[in-house]
Structure 1
Amino acid sequence: MGVFSRKSKIMSRISLKYVLYILILLSSTQIFAQKIVHHTVKYGETKYRLSKVYEISIEELERQNPEIAKGLYAGQELTIDTSYSVPKRDPEGNYIKYLVKKGESKSLIAKRYNISIAELDKANPDIQEELFAFEYIFIPVSNEVKKAEMNNYSDTSTDHTASVEKNLDNSSTTFDSEEGRNSYVNMVSSIKVNKEIALAILFPDTITSNTSYGDFEKGAQMAIDSVKSLGLHVTADYFNLKDVVKSGDYSSVVNYENVISLCNVKATSSIINKSSKKSNLVYGSAVNGVLEASDYNVLFALSSDFYRQNKLLGYLTSQNGNIIIINDEESTLNEHILKMYPQIKILTSDNGIVDESEFSSSLASGVKNFVILNTTNVNSIINTTNFLLPKSGSYSIQLASFRPLSEMVSSKISIKRYLVLKLIYTEFEGCNQKDTSYRQSFTNVYKKKYSAKPTDASVFGFDITFDFLVRLAQGEDIKSQLGKKTKYVSVPFEYTNVGDNVFTNSALKVYELIDYNNSKELK
């Protein structure tokens, strides 16, 4: 997987309500002043939905983007001037203006504010049965509730972009209002300013040799710029491990106490073990390898192949089904996994093709057949699903993947295949919801800085680097900070001790794809 001191002035402004603003705000960027919104159309979105989200008429939306007059399609890039927006007129009485969050329904909001759905409909005669994320609605409340809510959630600004961002600030202490999410904490306000941190980031090859390396580096640099604006002194250097090994000169790398590595465990250890400091190491990708013990603190930020494979297989074996794994020539199963799950059947594709007779004999009647793709090879995926789809009438079949959905979808593979076969996959909590306002805020800043859209690798680079630096800046041993749950643009961090000084991000979940826009959590 490819993959991302102005003490008195800054600290006086920090409050938990504005952490995310500070987190992604570069010193020269004023995203809240923007009137122009760049929107990427997602599966299932309609012009009606966008008109509600941006409080703009469909006619005005089409005038600004004439290419959508005949319809929308996923991936279209729209430019929306929100200065033409026509905000809803406030009703009379005590109301708060509320920004609907992803997954919220009328019944959920009515229950939260102790009102009836009929009262909600009366205050919002134009809303549909299904609410849209980021749509504004009015909620009738008592005067006391209004005063309290105005301090926390509501926003009376008529500028759509500003109001989305401000609402984002107001909810940043819990990151959203879903049940259970308030367990995430903010550590920014407790950093020790003026602390000096030296950081090394290791790549397997040159940054230009792999697009994801460059994207990770850009996200990491944004994180470094952000923590510098908070008063930290950070020096960071990037190393090509291939060149370091070739030269035999390890001195430039081993002097760093804090390291982020995108290399596998074996290669990274060969370098880090030469250092006498051996302080803190974070793996910034889902690398190959597993550690049971270490002389220094090791964090698997995106887990590792072993933990991902074990997470999915643990769930599937609990379903008492028949498990078949499709490997390609470049994919491997961790040796520990092979010992833990001796009952699984493993088939290897040759140039993307699995022997059909062998595949057929591996399927079992009377139980669910879970077919796991241990590959992102397009030919392997197409050939495997081509074989399974007609078999689904005779066998109970469900597709699965060790990889996140973002790595399985490409222009050459229709997502319909995954929908029909009800793909089960591993992903970090929340990362399967790409249309959150947090990611959009990050996208706005990233586009302005790099004139390009951020990729998942960019987000990983930012989140992993920012989280690592903030934990290091608490003024205590980083190990004492690992019990705290955090989340920034996309990735949640919830470290669990899995060995001597070894920790993995246990926010990894198992999801099932249910439609173009949504997945449900299974475990």
Structure 2
Amino acid sequence: MKNILTIILLAFTIGLSAQNFVEHTVQPGETIQTIAKKYLVTPFDIYALNPDAKRKFQPNTVLIIPNSKIKNNPIAEEKRELIDYKSHKVKRKETLYGLAKENNVSEEELKKANRFLYSENLKKGDRIRIPRYKTVVSKQTLNNTVKKYTVQPKEGKWRIAYKFGITVAELEALNPNMNDVIQPGDVLNMPNIEDQEEKKIEPKFGYYEVLPKETFYGLKGKLDLTQEQLEQLNPELKTTGLKAGMILKVPADVDTVGSLEAVETTNLKRNLTNFKPKKIALMMPYRLDKVNVAEVEDTKEKIKEDKRLSAVLDFHVGVMMALDSAKQLGISTNLKVLDTRNQVSKTNELLAENDFSDYDAVIGPMDEESFNRVALALKADKVPVIAAMNKPKEVYSNVFQTLPEDKLLISSMIDFVKADSLKTKVVIISDQAHRATSEALQKQFPGSKLIFSRMDKKNKTKDAHFIYHTELQNVFSAGRTYVFLETNNNSFASGVISLLNGFVVNKTEIILATTDKNRAFEGKNIDNNNLTNLKFHYPSVNKNFDESTKNGFVKAYLKEYGVSPSKYAVRGFDITLDLLMRLASAESLYEGSTETIETEYVENKFRYSKDFFGGYVNQALYIVKYDDLRIINAN
């Protein structure tokens, strides 16, 4: 056995010599990244030859380093040298961002020159120093320099990685100072291959970025392409195999996002033309000032106790997963996350400290007053502000309200029942608080029967929230009867649902409906078997995703977190992906949100209507029903 190991080691050593590999002894303070940069290879190249380095990496470890594929040419290096400072008195409305942009310096450089800005906000009247730099160009030759490549319009990281036959991670390793969002004109380090060896981006094909640990078997389920088909389109797979981050060419009709499901009125993937990186701000009440991230258990308890914080974090996860899905379509995003702390004063601070004038959209804030402040502040610059989980007090011209109006939910439910040619009768059961609503409902269905809850015998002004069994006798006959139940009282809803369930016999079909599905229809007092038996119908801003046919987003979420996504996570994903798709299919969100465009994703759909004097309100919704203990879309 010892001899065999010696032979293998000798063969391996000979092989290294033949391929011009070198050895490197790790020095204190070095990392895989710094070593890769020194030899102009990628961390993945090093790990491939030194798999133990992933678990054991320390000084004096000897690593085998492959020869770099790039050649030694002199390159021009630009350096900025500080000349002096100029004095400036801060004027009204001037911001750190604006001053940095105006003087061609970074915000960090301004803070270094004015240390008080690390702890204080910039104020009118402050006297600050603005550094002035000169650019010095020098040519230097390194042991292994790189070929320089200038980013072209519409090119993102994945397009460039595909063109040069490397992974996105390898591209990032070759360019450690590269911006998260690259721009046309940026100069990058790339493998020094001949121009004719560069791959072409072909419009008739789609492109997919391989995820970590992804297999050919997994891709067969996601892309519906076999290993043989993928290798035919991407011949290099036969020698390299699948690597995380590598870009694959696939047929144009393959769904590379894996999350845009079934019924889509408009498939925006076919309309993507604007690949300029999207600048988005996410303003949410994370309340990081109240959370001690160092105390893990304490933080967990806070998340459990604070339902709003839990919802915000779930929404945030959905947003981030939407950015990843959009990235697979070539849509890159520069996201800025801001904590409003659920305080109007903090929201005002964020508005003063940040320049949003060139942003494509702002998502949030959640609370009504803060949202109103942001929408009004950004109205002059026509920056779209997205009301993701709330209905704003004022729908300004730059506001996109993603939740449909209540009156639309009511009218849609009424229209649904009216359109059912099989209905024979309509019955309306209501508590006293919903008297006006139910009387208006009866006018929509002439000849319908209206039954109100009984009043308390002792206190004639108090609703007792019940009806007698006898009031429903002789009401139902053979055929289909719709029963509207209008209440927000859980005990009344529970009692009526139980009574109705007893009348479903033989050829008598009773369909329970409501125009307002609230908490009265939930909880331990409500038997879901009864709701299923009564085929409970109601209008909803969202549907439930089908557990039996999980889409790409749900699969990815389950794999990452081990549970199904909450409605907040799904909403964060749907709203953000829709926003990015609309921005990428037009010059602005306004142009991409005409009434002819209706989109649908995991649980939500969107069709915006422009109010003549105001902003945009979502007109798309669902009529859903209980079926076999599931909530599904009603046809």
TM-score bin, normalised by smaller chain: 0.5 to 0.7
Number of the residue aligned with 1:200: 283
In structure 1, how many angstroms separate the alpha carbons of the residues matched to 2:321 and 2:620?
24
Number of the residue aligned with 2:501: 389
Structure with greater Cα Rg:
2
In structure 1, how many angstroms separate the alpha carbons of the residues matched to 2:513 and 2:440?
19
Number of the residue aligned with 1:315: 416
In structure 1, how many angstroms separate the alpha carbons of the residues matched to 2:320 and 2:521?
27
Aligned residues: 380
* Cα distance, 1:365–1:408 mapped onto 2, change above 3 Å: closer
Render the CA deviation track for 1:423-466: whole Å, top value 9, x for unaligned: 1123468745343342xx32343245445431222111111122
* Cα distance, 1:374–1:202 mapped onto 2, change above 3 Å: farther
SS where residue 311 of structure 2 aligns?
A: helix
Number of the residue aligned with 1:298: 399
Number of the residue aligned with 1:478: 589
Show the 5 A alignment for 1:65-76. Answer: none
Number of the residue aligned with 1:494: 607
In structure 1, how many angstroms separate the alpha carbons of the residues matched to 2:470 and 2:572?
39
Show the 5 A alignment for 1:324-403. Answer: 324=428, 341=441, 343=443, 354-357=465-468, 360=471, 368-372=481-485, 375=488, 379=491, 381-392=493-504, 397-402=510-515
RMSD (Å) for aligned C-alpha atoms: 5.5
Paired residue type of 2:254: N
Kindly indicate whether the alpha-carbon contact (under 8 Å) linking 2:392 and 2:401 is maintained by their aligned counterparts in 1.
no
> Percent of pairs identical after alignment?
18
Paired residue type of 2:404: S
Number of the residue aligned with 2:322: 223
Render the CA deviation track for 1:59-94: whole Å, top value 9, x for unaligned: xxxxxxxxxxxxxxxxxxxxxxxxxxxxxxxxxxxx
In structure 2, how many angstroms separate the alpha carbons of the residues matched to 1:263 and 1:461?
13
The offset of 1:385, in angstroms, is 1.4
In structure 2, how many angstroms separate the alpha carbons of the residues matched to 1:464 and 1:363?
48
* Cα distance, 1:358–1:411 mapped onto 2, change above 3 Å: closer
Kindly indicate whether the alpha-carbon contact (under 8 Å) linking 1:215 and 1:455 is maintained by their aligned counterparts in 2.
yes
In structure 2, how many angstroms separate the alpha carbons of the residues matched to 1:361 and 1:385?
12
* Cα distance, 1:194–1:465 mapped onto 2, change above 3 Å: closer
* Cα distance, 1:171–1:31 mapped onto 2, change above 3 Å: same
Number of the residue aligned with 2:215: 33
SS where residue 479 of structure 1 aligns?
A: coil
Number of the residue aligned with 1:509: 622
The offset of 1:220, in angstroms, is 1.7
Number of the residue aligned with 1:453: 564
SS where residue 273 of structure 1 aligns?
A: helix
Kindly indicate whether the alpha-carbon contact (under 8 Å) linking 1:279 and 1:296 is maintained by their aligned counterparts in 2.
no
In structure 1, how many angstroms separate the alpha carbons of the residues matched to 2:348 and 2:525?
42
Number of the residue aligned with 1:184: 267
The offset of 1:219, in angstroms, is 0.9
Kindly indicate whether the alpha-carbon contact (under 8 Å) linking 1:423 and 1:512 is maintained by their aligned counterparts in 2.
yes
Unaligned regions of 5+ residues in structure 2, if any? 1-150, 163-200, 234-249, 291-302, 445-449, 457-461
The offset of 1:421, in angstroms, is 0.7
Unaligned regions of 5+ residues in structure 1, if any? 38-52, 55-96, 100-135, 137-146, 152-165
Render the CA deviation track for 1:161-214: whole Å, top value 9, x for unaligned: xxxxx9998256998897x75742216843433343334346899974333333
Higher relative contact order (CA 8 A, sep 6+): 1
* Cα distance, 1:199–1:261 mapped onto 2, change above 3 Å: closer
* Cα distance, 1:521–1:220 mapped onto 2, change above 3 Å: same
Residue of structure 2 aligned with 1:170, choices 254, 262, 278: 254
* Cα distance, 1:183–1:455 mapped onto 2, change above 3 Å: same
The offset of 1:312, in angstroms, is 1.2
Render the CA deviation track for 1:454-479: whole Å, top value 9, x for unaligned: 12221111111222233335562312
Kindly indicate whether the alpha-carbon contact (under 8 Å) linking 2:371 and 2:392 is maintained by their aligned counterparts in 1.
no
Number of the residue aligned with 1:467: 578
Paired residue type of 1:445: A
Kindly indicate whether the alpha-carbon contact (under 8 Å) linking 1:168 and 1:437 is maintained by their aligned counterparts in 2.
no
Paired residue type of 1:469: L
Render the CA deviation track for 1:230-286: whole Å, top value 9, x for unaligned: 433221324343x22xx476242586563334747677436533555453122323x
In structure 1, how many angstroms separate the alpha carbons of the residues matched to 2:408 and 2:476?
30
